[in-house]
Copies of this chain bind each other. A is one copy, B any other.
């Protein structure tokens, strides 16, 4: 099957046993200097590399973790994955990414496949799979689920507060009819309420500006959803629209441009994620910044901790910062609204 050299080849070449070669590599046993050198010469000579497969079946670490995502097309996912990889690298682990779409069945398949020892740990970034589902499907391989308020999740980001801050900012600009296009795909049992909707409600209700009719939920959280739903909210009187992510915001922006509405003068828009798109768009997007780096480092640290011995989980609460750019303006009270 495999034309490459094995540990036996090395042992034979040097004239020692496989055991000695194995221990020379792992360093778990003292080997006399001269012999050690001959062994490493032979290894280099034969370009010998231990088979991860055989190591795995023999019960040792693969030094590999799997990351499960629903899609690779959202720009945010790519950034997050690269951050995860960088963190894993610091611990000597590699990363393999698996795409599962929105299929529960496929997610379960993949997890069970991987947890046979193929990987040492699993990062579950699937919005549709709960912490407990991941834990049970992956057992006995440790799994960390991205961003859930759960006892088995290492980091909680305070989404409601972040959205609340953004909504209050719009209130301070004089807006009262504030629309929301939610973007969270995490509808699983882990989340009882949509945290973005909740945050906006917390800000608007006390101000008497809360209107459930101005809340739209985008199923996929994509550009097209913003494009499609913006009109409905504006027709209901929204002078500002909060988007559940920056792609949705881009869609709203595009809708405004196509319908001749000037942003921010005639329509204010906020995003969420503060991804690269936020600075690319024109006008640059005021957006709620998500601390991806901190999320990645905390999650990876927790996963590696579990792999290396089941240490106690540290819980971190991270807050969100509103980055103000050019997509929101004070409400022009006197302005006559265009007819859509």
Residues of A that sit less than 8 Å from B by CB: 1-4, 49, 51-54, 56-57, 59, 66, 71-75, 77-79, 81-82, 85, 94-99, 110, 112-113, 116-118, 139-140, 223, 250-251, 253-254, 257, 276, 280, 282
In the complex, chain B residues whose CB is within 8 Å of the CB of A49:
112-113, 116
Closest-by-CB residue of B relative to A223 is B280
A112–B140 Cα gap in the complex (Å)? Answer: 28
Total copies of this chain within the assembly: 2
In the complex, chain B residues whose CB is within 8 Å of the CB of A51:
57, 116-117
Give the residue of B82, B117, B223 whose beta carbon is less than 8 angstroms from that of A2.
B117
Contact B53 A116 (CB under 8 A): yes
A140–B95 Cα gap in the complex (Å)? Answer: 23
Give the residue of B72, B79, B94, B96 whose beta carbon is less than 8 angstroms from that of A77.
B72
Contact A85 B97 (CB under 8 A): no
In the complex, chain B residues whose CB is within 8 Å of the CB of A59:
1
Give the residue of B98, B113, B117 whose beta carbon is less than 8 angstroms from that of A1.
B117
Contact B73 A94 (CB under 8 A): no
Going nearest first, the 7 A-B pairs with the smallest beta carbon separation are: A72-B78, A97-B97, A1-B59, A96-B96, A53-B56, A73-B78, A51-B116
In the complex, chain B residues whose CB is within 8 Å of the CB of A66:
96
